Chains A and B, each alone.
Chain A
Amino acid sequence: MALPKRIIKETERLVADPAPGITAAPHDDNLRYFDVTIQGPDGSPFQQGIFKLELFLPEEYPMAPPKVRFLTKIYHPNIDKLGRICLDILKDKWSPALQIRTVLLSIQALLSAPNPDDPLAPDVAKHYKENEKDAQRVSPRVDAAVRVRMRPSGADDRSEFSLHLFIETRHLVC
C-alpha cells in the first residue's frame, strides 16, 4: 500500500523542521519505521542524556496510535525495563488529530514530569514517592551507563566515564 500523504508530509516536516531536542529519521527500507532521539529536557533529571527510541507507524495510522519504545534504558516510573512507555495518548487517548511530532513532544514532557501515580515500573515509582531527590540523583547515572551500552561504537571521553559509572551503579538498575 502506498504511503499515505499525511505520513509523507509529517516526515518531511520532522526532517526539515525538527522540534527542539528531538530528531526523527525514517529507515530507508521502511518509511513507517523511525529512529528517534530525544534529549533530556533542561531542568529534568535526564537533562544530560540523549535517549534513543524507535517509532513505528502501523497500517491503521493515523486512526491507530504509533508504537513507540525506548531503546535506551531509563530510570523512570512510567517506562519499564523493556522501554515500554505508559502514556495515555499512545493508548486509549490516541486521537487521529495527533501526529508523530506531538507524540514525541509528549514523551519529552513525560521525561520532565514523571507521573508516579500511574507507574509502569513500580519500584522506580516507589523510589520516587519515598525519596524523589534520591531517585532523581540515580536517574542520570543509570541513564548514562545504559546509554553507553546502547551506543554502537566510538569511544569519547564521556563514554569512559559512563562505563565507570555503569559498573559502579549496576546494582541499582538490575
Chain B
Amino acid sequence: MIRSPARCSMLVLNYVSEPNTNLLCCICRMPFVDPVTTRTCSHTFCRDCIVQAISHARFCPVDRSALSIDDLSPANSIIRSLVDELAVECIHRSSGCTYTCQRQLLTAHVMSACPFALVPCPKGECDETLARKDMESHSCSTHTLAPCDLCGAKFQLDELPKHLSQCNDTLVTCESCTLEVPRRGLSAHNTTCPEALVPCPQAPNGCGWTGPRASLASSHLSACSYEAIKGFFALHTTRFARLTEENLILRHKIDTLEGALQTTKCELQSVKTALGPWYRADGVYPLSAYSRSRPPLSSTDLPTELQPASASSSSATPPHARPFNSRVEDATSALDHALPAVQDLAPYFPPVSPEEPLNRDRASDLAARRRTLPAAWEPLAPFGGAAVTPQHTQVAPLNLSTTLEGALAEVRESVVALGGAVDSLGRRSDIALTNEALRLNEEIMSLRANIHGLRMQVHAIMMDRNAQVTGRSGSAEMQNLSPGVHILGAGGMGGGDGSWPLPMHTPPLPRGFYSYPQAMSPGGLGQSTTKL
C-alpha cells in the first residue's frame, strides 16, 4: 500500500493530551485518520485500517456483521473536525522541535517551517540531506566558494588549504636573513638579501669562493685573484665563442657535404646496378676495334662511323680549337677531346653539360638521320660487287652516354634499319637476277638466229656441193638427209615443236652467264657441227 508522507507521519503522531476514547479507531487504537463510517452498522474506523481489515475478513471488526468496501462512506464532518483539530506535537520533537499545533496543520509546518525537518541541499549540487535550521551554515564542499583570508581570491572549500600553502600573500621567512616577506616578494628579496649566499662573479673562471652577499663587495672582490685579470677572461671568452661558432658552421657544412656525398654514392651505386656492363670506371678504355674510337663515357653521344682510317685519325689528332658549330662532325670530334677534365669526374656528374645540349641534340639527330638513310641505301649504289665487299660494312654506333633504354632503343632502331636494308637488298637482287635472265635469253635468241643462219648457209653450201657432185640424185639424198637433220635438231636442242627452244643444259644463271660460251661449244652446236 502506498502511503503519502503526510499519512505516514500521521501514524506516529504524538498527541498532546490523551484523546477522547470515542475518537480512537478500534483497529489502530489511535485517533481516526481519514475516518470512514460503515453504512450497515455505523461504526467508524480509519480508512486504511478498515480497508486492510476487510481484505483479511469481510466483516465489521466490532460486531462481525458482513461488510464490504462499498459499505464505507466518509465519516461525519464533525468527527473529522474533532480528530483534525487534536493538538499534536511536531514529528521532529525527538530532534528538538517543541512546536505543537492542530493535526491538520502539522503537515504544513513540517513541509515548510519546521527547523528540524530534513531537507535536501537547496542548490541541488550535493547529495546531503540536512535540517532546515542548518541550511544557512551549510556549505557544500563542491559548490561553496570561500575567500582566502590573505589574497581575497575565492576558492572551493576543499581547495582552500591547498591554496593557502601556495598563496602569494602568505608571509614566508627568508632562509638567510630570517626576515618575513610575502611569498610574492621572496624572489625579489633573494636577489638583494645581504645575507644570502652568493658565489664570486668569477666563479665560471674558477674562483671557488661562496659567501654572503654583503661580504662579497666589501672583502672578497678586492682579494680575488681572478677578478684582477677579468679583462683577459673577457677577451678569451670572446675569441673562444667566435671559434666555437665557426667550428659549428664548419661542422654543419661537413655534415651537409657528407650527406650529399652519401646521396651521390647511393645514386652512383644504383646507376652502376642499372648500367651493368655499360658502366666503365674512369680511365679504363677498352681496346677493342669497335670501341677504340669511342670516347669515355661522358664525352659525347655523337655517333662515329667505324671507317678505320677516319676513326684512327680522329682519335689520334690532338684537340682542335675550332668553334663547336662550324660543322657537325668537327664539333663532335672537338668535343670528344676538349673535355678531359670533365672526363675524370665523369662518373660523378650528369653526362650532359648544361651549355651543350643544343649542339649535341642537333648533332645526334643529324647523325641518326644520316645513319639510318645511308645504312639502307648506300650498299645499293655499287650494285653487285659493292654489296659483297666486307670493307664497306657500316655498323650502327652505340651511344653509351644516354640511358640504357635510349641505347637499347637506338640499337633496336639500327636493327630495324638493318632489317629494312637486308630486305631491300634481297628485292634488288631479285630484280637484278630477273634482268640478267632476260638479257641472257635475248642473247641466246640472237645466237640461235645466228646458228640458224649458219645452218642455212651450210645447208645451201652442201646442197650446192651435192648438186655439183650428183646432179639430180643429189636432190633425192637431200630429201633423205633433211629428216635426220631435224632429228638431230630435236634431240640436241631439246625442242619438239620445231621452234628454237632454250637449250636444256643451260647452267645456273650466274655461272652460266660467265661460262656460257665455253659450255656451248661442247653442247648442241658442237654436236651438230661434229655430226655435220
Contact = CB atoms under 8 A, between A and B. Distances in A.
A96 B49 contact: yes
Contacts of B12: 5
Contacts of A62: 27-28
A6 B53 CA distance: 15
Interface stretch (B54-62, B93-101, B264-272, B469-477): B54-62
Nearest to A99: B29
A5 B30 contact: yes
Interface string B115-135: 000000000000000000000
Interface residues of B, number: 18
B166 interface: no
Contacts of B55: 63
A161 B35 CA distance: 57
B29 A63 contact: no
B28 to A, nearest CB: 5
Contacts of A4: 28
A93 B49 CA distance: 18
A22 B269 CA distance: 122
A5 B13 CA distance: 9
A121 interface: no
Contacts of A64: 56
Interface string A1-33: 000111001100000000000000000000000
B511 interface: no
A99 B57 CA distance: 16
Contacts of B275: none
A156 interface: no
Interface in B25-47: 26-30
Interface string A126-162: 0000000000000000000000000000000000000
A96 B53 contact: yes
A96 B30 contact: no
B11 interface: yes
B142 interface: no
Contacts of A97: 26-27, 61-62
B56 A63 contact: yes
Given A5-B11, A60-B56, A63-B52, A96 B64 contact: no
A9 B11 CA distance: 13
A134 to B, nearest CB: 37
A6 B26 contact: no
Nearest to A6: B29
A95 to B, nearest CB: 4
A96 B61 contact: yes
Contact of B57 (A5, A6, A9, A94): A94
Nearest to A2: B12
A95 B11 contact: no
Contacts of B61: 95-98
B51 to A, nearest CB: 11
A99 B29 CA distance: 10
A75 to B, nearest CB: 31
Contacts of A99: 29
Contact of A63 (B11, B26, B53, B64): B53
Nearest to A4: B28
Given A5-B11, A95-B62, A95-B64, A10 B56 contact: no
A95 B12 CA distance: 23
A98 B12 CA distance: 21
Contacts of B59: 95
Interface string A51-81: 0000000001011100000000000000000
B64 A6 contact: no
A62 B26 CA distance: 10
A21 B505 CA distance: 177
A93 B60 CA distance: 11
A3 to B, nearest CB: 11
B62 to A, nearest CB: 5
B64 A93 contact: yes
Nearest to B29: A6
Interface string A81-100: 00000000000011111110
A166 B29 CA distance: 44
Contacts of B29: 5-6, 9-10, 99
A166 B192 CA distance: 111
Nearest to B50: A96
B25 to A, nearest CB: 9
Nearest to B30: A5
A64 B60 CA distance: 14
B26 A96 contact: yes
A98 B61 CA distance: 8
A148 B238 CA distance: 122
B28 A5 contact: yes
A57 to B, nearest CB: 13
Nearest to B28: A6
Contacts of A95: 53, 57, 59-62, 64
B27 A96 contact: yes
Interface of A: 4-6, 9-10, 60, 62-64, 93-99
27 contacts: A5-B11, A5-B30, A6-B30, A9-B29, A10-B29, A60-B56, A62-B27, A62-B28, A63-B52, A63-B53, A64-B56, A93-B64, A94-B57, A95-B53, A95-B57, A95-B60, A95-B62, A95-B64, A96-B27, A96-B53, A96-B56, A96-B61, A97-B26, A97-B61, A97-B62, A98-B61, A99-B29
Given A5-B29, A63-B55, A93-B64, 6 more contacts: A4-B28, A5-B12, A6-B29, A60-B56, A95-B57, A96-B26
Query: Nearest 9 pairs between A and B by C-beta?
Result: A97-B61, A97-B26, A95-B61, A96-B27, A63-B56, A6-B29, A96-B61, A96-B53, A97-B62
